[in-house]
Structure 1
Amino acid sequence: MRSWCLCQICTCGRHHCPHGTTRIYENSGVFYPTTEYMEKYPKYGSVLPPQSLKPKQEFQACRGKMEGISTFKSDYRPYEIVKQPRHIPEEYKPKQGKIDLGTTYKQDFNSYKMQPVAIVRPVERRQVKKEKLDTVPTYKDDYRSWEIQKSELCKPEQAYHPPTVKFGNSTTFQDDYVPQEVKPRQSCKPCSVVKCSAVPFSGATSHRLDYVPRQLEVRVARPKEVYKPTNQPFEDLTTHRNDFQGLAGKTAKLCRPAYPRVTQRAQFEGSTEFRESFQPWEIAPPEVKKVPEYVPPAGSMQLDSTSHLDYVPYQINRVAPIKPVSQSRKSNFPFQGKSTMKEDFPAWESCRQGLIKQQQQIPNPSGNFDGLSTFRSHYVPHELVPTESCKPLNAALKSSVPFDDVTMYSTEYTLKKPEICPASYPSPPGYIFENINSQGHKFFRKITPAVKAF
């Protein structure tokens, strides 16, 4: 007899075998992974990969010369540029009558009297002490000044002798600097001359070599499909109706204890758990620590430091410099005091430049001011024409024709008896449980009906 799995018995496609803990290797030595993909899609034999239909890139020789006309040269057509006319503003004519200087604020605002706001802050109470203030600080009370002797310098004195001749001492730059000849470096930059080739330009491009003109096929007009309603009845089944099966049971009882309501007439007992457990007791005041009086040290203070006591001065000879003697030429001629700056740039007398004023192009008005501005002289008033509203009226449409309540759902819907999936039961009807596979699949055996003998 053939055995059926729970996955094969299911008709709705939402029931599968519960895969539990499975063994990696069976006694037969074959590995069975617990995946549904290996069962539905078996492996195929060796299949060759598809051949590429891409054309081969073969070199093609030049077919002709290339014209020197571009798309811009062939399509561009110059046109005459016409200067746009300038708008001349009309002359302003003032409006007759007086100007109404009333504003919306003056019309809508009603003034009323204001009263000063009362201060909510309480009055400060200054506590004045009649006792006398002790103005002696802690520093003056504890500090005692004593005489300090000036310490002697341990640094040896260096006698400086200024030179007798003007600019007699040589500088560090003159002693260390050795003049050398500067040779210009050769430039490695290539020449910026454009090299023109004498070979004529071949008009072959990748587009001309690879492009093959083809004729387009005539597009066939596809006829529009006519809608045809289905003859099958509408299924009103949902996942909740198929899978959910309600279980009859008793309602849960509340485990919360009963809440005794406190009446208002009951008097409150003045004892609580906090008052009974924590009784007040007396606390002793904290002890004040006594500060010992300051006693100044006896005797004089020694101002000798460790460096002053341990340092022994030595007579050290001056170290001779190791640097080579500079090759600068020293001349006995006196310094002339001339430089290239003084010879090339002689001083001249400078005068203060006057203010530069531009000439006024617009002449000042000579007559009296008329009181007319540019806006008043050129402004032309126009009457406002209100725009007509295109919005339709908010009136309800009434018709004497009765309402047709026939819909496509009411005409085509037919009731269908809901079919329950046999795999939704704990034991499918018409099947007997046989065994469970190592992969976790449940197998059932179909019950065959008994045949009566003749």
Structure 2
Amino acid sequence: MKRICICEMCNCGRHRCTHEPTALYVKENTGECMLTEYTEKFPVYGRVYNPPQTQKPKPELDHGRDKGRMDGTTTFKTDFIPHEVKQRPKRQPAEYKPKPGKIDLGTTYKQDFNPYELQPFVPVKSREKAYTAPPKLETIPTYKDDFRQWELCKQELTKPKHKYQPPSSKFGGTTTFQDDFVPRSVAPQQSFKPPSVAKFSDVPFDGVTSNQLAFVAHPVEPRFVKPQEVYKPSSQPLQDLTTNRLDFQGQPGELAQSCKPRPNKSSSLAASDSPFESNTENKDNFKEWPVSLPKFHQPDKYVGPTEHMDLSTTTAAHYVRHQVQPFSRAKPHKPPRRASAPFQNLTTMREDFQPWAAQARQPLIKQSEGIHKASGKIEDLTTFRAHYTIHELKPNISFKPSKQPMRSSVPMEDSTMYRTTFTPKRISVCPASFQSPPGYEFEESDDRGHKYFRKL
């Protein structure tokens, strides 16, 4: 009986076998392949061997060994065989023996090269012809013929003749500012500042201001004071119970006991009351070595020089100091002037400027109004109210259909194109959708993942 796979059993096109490539090294003898056409178009190359097996030992645990202490043996210690290592013999170089006879120093260049006879180089350029100079031509250029040289007179210098006379004393030379500057007597400038004399007015001071004249004192009403309410304590007692205290009722039970052990002596120490031995392994096995103190280098003491030290410099030894007078300014010194009188706050603006008598302001020039204002009572009538004419409103005709249902005595034709052309088909369930298709028995699964069923 022919076997059927799920791929062939499916009639809806949604079910396929799980194509798992589990047989990479298995040679298939089937002629057809349901997955690809690669095997039909391309030939098979050679033989396919099984994969090589690993020689790595399996990680098995040895339960027979003692689990308390770790064995320090390794595969290197167990399999390693020490061999005697001998020194490698050195190769003795052969003795140098010079070759007998004479060395031929000839090269291939000397053997293959044939010298040629060279002739002197002949230039291609033609030789220059000897030029014989004609007799000298006596000519006069137009410049020499037309130009007449004038007699030039030497211009006298306008600079005055001053012979330099070096100063007789050291640093006695004067500057050009001292030579050219002529000191003049400074005339005192006329001060336009007003005299610092206070001016007093003969008119008595009037302390009346516009506020004092125009201010009208109004009586101030007394401030409203709100009476303080008297505290009245509540007659009801204070309820200090919360919702937790009212609603929560504790369940009866024993008190929680502490799991902390009692501070008693342990069983090992309870028997002996001897003091604790503070000896450790370090104290027992450690041996003190004699340690010598490090030697510190002591520097030599400083010994000052016994001879006298010359602290003079080349500048102090060879410098000759001259008595030079300080430079005096030719410009006279103007001492600051301080006034003993008190400061006057009067200026030329205040003294010279006199306020003019202000005249009455000229009234504005207004044109006569063309429209006179009405003196009577205003009429509450606007142009809109006067000229507006009321028209009768006509309601708009609505074209919206009425909401009344349209009823007809003719029965409705409920036949459609779908009803006339539709042919009902039988709904079939795909047998591959079941885990075990009905009417089939599972036989085996292929190494490619195909599940084959046999029909009952």
TM-score by shorter chain over 0.5: no
TM range (shorter): under 0.3
